[in-house]
Amino acid sequence: MLTRNNAASVPDPLLAPNLVEAVLSKLGLQKRPSLDLAGLNSVFAAVSGKIPFDNVRKRIWFAGPQIGPLPGGDPTEFFSNWLRHGTGGTCWPLNGGVYALLRTLGFDARRIVGSVIVEGYPQGANHGSILVTLDGTDYVADAWMASFKALPLAPGRPTSTGGGIHDIRSVPTGNAFEILSYAGWLREQPLPFRIEPEYDPVDHAFFLDRAERTKVVGFFNDAVFISRHFPDSILTLGRHSKFRVAADGSLTKTQPSGTERKAALVEEFGLSEEIVDAIPTDVSGGVAPPGL
């Protein structure tokens, strides 16, 4: 297990019982999960397939008066909007919300931070993630990676979630790990996430602070981005293109019209018509993830 540093003492935001029941119902879970690996995987598989990684509400915030913090930082607000509109979030609100759900359910979860290695994006504590400890083993339960199974971390040896289009792998790097996953629009090479032990664990305030820093620079400020994993496919929509990864790993790219984009957001990604109608036009010439 990774060494835990002392995080600042800030109360964790937990979810009210009625909200937890509503979330579990929409996730398709008929009862609370057992606090073991089977239970963790049941929750994480449901989260992986039901909650998208997206910047929809962030784009709406940028198009407004930009007063107050970015949306989704409060886990109760995050899940209330998912229940109403089907929205997820970028890594900080998404994993912050899933962390709160796991903690409320009774799992020994903690927030961690590291760097996703992407050309043109600032390195150093740029991605918030989640570890869950079970019987002395740490498991990665990162909703951005949406691997449907939690990834065990084994000091000194690589691990995998078992193949397929949602597979993620770990590679030991000294006293930490590098987690390798594949984006839904770039399948030739993995996106590395390097866990930074000095940020293990961090508190809620740290997640909020890092999210606020993305107001200044970020891939997800200027154009809509959304990715959703299904058991047999991965669907991604960016500035210009829509991508589908089939169960056999084949990648299809199309360039939908504005009308087709809106229809896909509702019919395929599961967003409400109300929230889709509120999405502003992409910023011309703005920044977006490479290839989109």
74, exposed or middle or buried, with CB in 10 Å at 0-12, 13-18, 19+? middle
> For position 68, what pLDDT does the model report?
93
Write 24-27 long-range contacts (CB < 8 A, 24+): 26/50, 26/82, 26/83
Say how far apart CA 147 and CA 46 lie, in whole Å: 10
Is 134 a member of any domain?
yes
pLDDT in tens, 104-123: 999 999 999 999 998 777 78
- The pLDDT score that the predictor gives to residue 291 is 63
Question: What's the CATH code of the domain at 123?
Answer: 3.30.2140.20
Tally of domains within the chain? 1
Cβ–Cβ under 8 Å, residues 286 and 222: yes
Closest to 145 (Cα-Cα) out of 231, 265, 227? 227
d(CA 145, CA 164): 13
Q: Does 150 fall in a domain?
A: yes
Residues in the chain: 292
pTM of the model: 0.94
pLDDT at residue 292 in the model:
67
Name residues of the chain where pLDDT drops below 50.
Answer: 1-9
The strand order across the sheet containing 176-181 reads: 151-153, 137-140, 127-134, 109-116, 191-195, 176-181, 169-173, 159-160
Range of the domain at 194: 17-223
Written as six digits, the tokens of 46 are: 């449901």
**Residue 288 belongs to some domain of the structure:** no
- Evaluate whether 122 touches 217 at the Cβ level (below 8 Å): yes
Q: Has residue 195 been placed in a domain?
A: yes
User: Does residue 265 lie in a domain region?
Assistant: no
Residues paired with residue 173 on neighbouring β-strands, in sequence order: 176
What's the pLDDT at 278? Answer: 98
pLDDT one-digit tens code per residue, 177-187: 999 999 999 89
Between the alpha carbon of residue 274 and those of residues 56, 81, 87, 242, 261, the distances in Å are 12, 12, 11, 21, 15
